[in-house]
Amino acid sequence: MRRDYIIIPILLPAMLLLLLAISSCKRDHLYYEGSNTATVLVNPDWSSSSLQPNGITVFAYNASDGSLYKRFPPVSAQERCYIQLPKGNYTLVVMNDTPEEFADRIDFIGEENLKTLQAKGVKDVQRTQKLTEYLKTLSNSGTGAEANATSADDMYCIVEPDTLATAIYHNLHISQQQIDYFYDRPDDQISEENAIKVDVEPKRVVSMVNIKAHVKGLKYARGTTVSFLRGMAGGYMMGVGENSMEQVAHSFILNQRVFDPGSDSDGTIKASFLAFGMVGDGDNHAKYYLDINFVLINGEPYPLTFDVTDLIYIDVTLSLQLTINLNLEIELPEVIGEEGGGFDPDVSEWEDEIIDIPM
């Protein structure tokens, strides 16, 4: 009987060591995230957007109802973007960098569903106040269709957005067979060759707007205050792939001046800024208005409003960046007298450009 008590303490540690050795040869499927998922490699090609982002963010949505499965942690541009997905059908939305990096320039809202995911312009409170004052003055003047079209109380200015590029990948199917393939595969054996590869080509969704006006009598203008382009899209529906239908305004300074060759009176003024572009898919009946607020050399304000709907020309450059060009002709009245009116901090003085004339 005494031998039994000696053998048991010896056998018990040996059995525990044997069990530990056996269990260490297999992955603990309760520990590894990939035990019930397949590994997907998201491979973005940024060449068409001409971007070199800091990183990439991926949203995965359930294809059945558009609900968000997961927003994956961002991955730097130098790393491979691997994500884990369980069995199901998915739609992926890919963007450059992270929503947090666009703070104060773009708000990302409606993340909970594919149809509501939107990159939305940030309201510029100070410029919106100036716009409201201008529209009120324009409406009271009753100067025609332009005045009547400004009655919407919800028109507001947004901050110039930063450059954003996105892509949508539909019909990503994860099967049980694919999950089983990764079930017992160690993490260090997951590579580009055996992962489920998803190739995407993000496109720029923020456009460059170029405004150029040829002005007769430009010498009679001391400068301009803030100008507005009204009717542009307020954001981009990332899960739908088109601009939102909400119309907003952009404020800008139109003060780059170039006189015509051989003229000290007539010339052009121009400005450029980033915007989400035209509302929706651009093929609708939306109206667009340009407000230029000149200040004449005698200090008198000379505001002008134009319906520029038919003047907008869209150009897709080689980099596939959408460029909106707007050209128009303006004539200012002759002003008798010297520059006056005192100092006005709202007036932006001209920034003259020197054009070399070939001899």
pLDDT, mean of residues 38-61: 94
Residues in the chain: 359
Question: 90-103, pLDDT tens digit by residue?
Answer: 999 999 999 999 99
CA distances from 95 to 20, 44, 166, 199, 324 (A): 45, 9, 4, 13, 23
How much is the mean pLDDT over the chain?
83
Return the pLDDT at 196.
94
Distance from C-alpha of 60 to C-alpha of 7, rounded to nearest angstrom: 58
- Residue 276 sits at φ, ψ, to 5 deg, of -75, -15
SS3 122: coil
Return the pLDDT at 150.
46
Question: 102-112, pLDDT tens digit by residue?
Answer: 999 999 999 99
Domain assignments of the chain as residue spans, ordered by start: 33-122+165-203, 125-157+205-352
Strands 203-204 vs 289-296: parallel, antiparallel or unpaired: unpaired
Return the pLDDT at 146.
52
CA distances from 146 to 64, 110, 140, 158 (A): 45, 34, 12, 21
Distance from C-alpha of 187 to C-alpha of 207, rounded to nearest angstrom: 41
DSSP conformation letters of 189-208? G--TTTSEEEEE--EE-SEE
Question: With contact defined as beta carbons under 8 Å apart, do 62 and 173 qualify?
Answer: no
Distance from C-alpha of 222 to C-alpha of 51, rounded to nearest angstrom: 39
Distance from C-alpha of 288 to C-alpha of 305, rounded to nearest angstrom: 11
pLDDT, mean of residues 139-155: 59
Distance from C-alpha of 311 to C-alpha of 324, rounded to nearest angstrom: 10
Question: With contact defined as beta carbons under 8 Å apart, do 234 and 276 qualify?
Answer: yes
Highest mean pLDDT range out of 111-120, 144-153, 318-327, 329-338? 111-120
Sign of CA dihedral 323, 324, 329, 334: negative
Strands 235-237 vs 242-243: parallel, antiparallel or unpaired: antiparallel
Quote the pTM value: 0.82
Q: Of 3-7, 52-56, 204-208, 246-250, where does mean pLDDT reach its minimum? A: 3-7
CATH number among 2.40.30.20, 3.60.20.40, 3.40.50.300, 2.60.40.2100, domain 33-122+165-203: 2.60.40.2100
| Helical segments of 105-144, H only | 125-141
